[in-house]
Amino acid sequence: MNVIDIRGATKVFNPGKGNQVEALAEIDLVVEPGEFVTLIGPSGCGKSTLLRLIAALIAPTTGLVEVNAKPAEQARLDRDYGMAFQTAGLFDWRTVSKNIELPLELMGWTKGDRRRRAKEMLELVKLGEFATHHPSELSGGMQQRVAIARALSFSPALLLMDEPFGALDEMTREHMQDELLRIWKETETTVVFVTHSIPEAVYLSTRVVVMSPRPGKIASVIEVDLGERQALVRDDPAFHTKVTEVRVALRKVEE
Amino acid sequence: MSTLKGFSAPIMTGVVLFGLWEGVLALFNPQGFVLPAPSEIAGALIDNWDDVFQGARITGYVVVSGLLAGIVLGVLAALLVTRFRTANETITPLAVAINAIPIIALAPIFNNWFGLTSARSNQAIVVALVFFPIFINTTRGLTLVDRSQVELMESYAASRSRISREVRIPNAMPFFFTALKLSTSLAVIAAIVAEYFGGRQDALGPLITQSAGLTRYDDAWAAVLAGTTIGVVLYIAVTVLERVVMPWHSLIRSHREET
Ligand SMILES: Nc1ncnc2c1ncn2[C@@H]1O[C@H](COP(=O)(O)OP(=O)(O)O)[C@@H](O)[C@H]1O
Ligand SMILES: [Mg+2]
């Protein structure tokens, strides 16, 4: 069974109006369980739009989007996925711990279970001592880590992430990449990840999907098999070969 | 603690101001009826305590009841307007248009509608005056929400009412309180000016006009002082309420001030 099944999906914003935008044209994409798929491409090529289609936050203009072999909308209602956005989107009126507990509250977890899980997740993103702080007291990078902890809190089988590490400094970023890979392996989740960093895409993915703009299309798909990922891989010649391959594909797209 | 600290500066300013006022009048001694010294006003306040206290009670009732009704109506209208798109498209432009009317100018007309000697018309003025800032600001707060916060709630399959409760209403709180603080002083002004034109004759408004008419300016000032007190007490109450309801907000502010 495929986790994601997209067939001939298109998205036109404001159809028939002066500000009509053809954001996506004829997207076909299948994601199998346990894959780590990265979407990369110049800004405005429809990466976020594609992710929103999968999340059923918007509906396709034409075509079909299925998640876990059911309509994406049903998967959303069944809470089949967790999501993290480029902006942390934390709630100032909730403490850090309560922000992580929010999805758990909506899913009817008991207070004790929520507390325990929030604590675990905060340890994971190395913010254990900030549980009772409010988001406004945290730096941008720390806020982003809270948002990631929140997305992971209910162990969704599918993770949708839209440039979640964009605001992080290089050190934190590499650390979070390793954490994400560890979680991905341990929990056997499927991940769809948007980025504009080529090394990040290559380091994380099993498959890099290169998109081209106006209208958004899948230009090429590059399989990545670097075996067991560790920090070492970043210095591996095979890693650099893949980075070059993706860079060449992107350059073609941007011409 | 921090609440006390927040109020000590205005209190100090007040003390210094009154001292200057008293001192300047003592030094230059202009004709006494132009501006009575604080000590004379205090004397008048003690002499007329019963009348001033009664006036403050009547006017205070008009202010507080009008304020409460205006808040309830303003918030309900804001919730309605954000819930139903058609309501928004019809009510909001209407509200903005009506807001351009100088409400206080309607006082004599309201007297005609609600009766010359009852407090109803004065209350109606306060309600109308409070309604618009509350309605417009709260609506703004309910709609100007972070898109990713709403999408996040949708990704959890949260219901509309849950999204309102978790995102829209907390987001509207600072907007609401800004409007409310503005409304407290507006409400006192509106009530007293409306009382100049009608309403109960033992309220602060008539007390001011009658005292001034008899050139008893220190009595008039004593009544003004009572009106000021109502405004200040309400403002402090709102500020305290704001800190209780939105502890996170003063946090954001203090954090921003530091940086
Ligand atoms: N809600 C929307 N309304 C209108 N146009 C939109 C909307 N969302 C995205 N677009 C347009 O669709 C195109 C793709 O946007 P997006 O998916 O955000 O690109 P990316 O994430 O790759 O930078 C852009 O031209 C953008 O302006
Ligand atoms: Mg984007």
| DSSP string for B59-114 | HHHHHHHHHHHHHHHHHHHHHHHHH-HHHHHHHHHHHHHHHTS-GGGGHHHHHHHH
For the record, the structure tokens of A233 come out as: 């891989």
Percent of chain A with pLDDT over 70: 98
What's at B53, amino acid-wise? F
Report pLDDT digits (tens) over B33-87.
567 778 888 887 888 888 878 888 989 999 999 999 999 999 999 998 888 866 6
| Residue count of chain B | 259
**B245: closest chain A residue by CA:** A93
**Architecture of the CATH domain B37-258:** Orthogonal Bundle (1.10)
- Residue indicated by tokens 């009772």: A132
Beta pairing class for A158-162 and A81-84: parallel
Q: Is the CB of A53 under 6 A from ligand 1?
A: no
Please name the residue whose Cα sits nearest to atom 5 of ligand 1: A13
CB contact under 8 A, A89 and B146: yes
pLDDT at position B179: 94
Ligand in closest contact with the CA of A23: 1
d(CA A253, CA A42): 8
Q: Which of A176, A230, A243 is nearest to A40 (CA)?
A: A243
Of A65, A83, A73, the residue nearest A194 (C-alpha): A83
Which range in B5-19, B40-54, B167-181 is most confidently predicted, on average pLDDT? B167-181
- The atom of ligand 1 lying closest to the CA of A52 is 17
Which parts of chain A have pLDDT scores under 50? none
Query: Could you tell me the CA-to-CA distances from B165 to A32, A52, A114, B150, B159 in Å, in that order?
Result: 37, 24, 20, 11, 10
Output the pTM of the full model.
Answer: 0.82
- On the question of pLDDT at B1 being above 70, the answer is no
Q: Where exactly are the structural domains of chain B?
A: 37-258
* Euclidean distance between CA atoms A60 and A66, whole angstroms: 11
Residue B259: per-residue pLDDT: 46
Closest CA to A127 of A82, A102, A96, A105: A96
SS3 (DSSP) at B18: helix
Distance from CA of B130 to the nearest CA of A (A): 26
Backbone region of residue A162 per phi and psi (left: phi > 0; alpha: psi in -120 to 50; beta: other values): beta
Partners of residue B158 in chain A, C-beta under 8 Å: 106
ipTM (interface pTM): 0.87
DSSP H helix total and E strand total for chain B = 12, 0
Residue B31's SS3 state is coil
Cα torsion for A106, A112, A113, A118, to the nearest 10°? Answer: 80
Tens of pLDDT along B98-136?
778 888 888 888 877 877 777 888 899 999 999 999 999
- The CB density around residue B157, as the number of other CB atoms within 10 Å, is 17
Check: CB of residue B122 under 8 Å from CB of residue B191.
yes
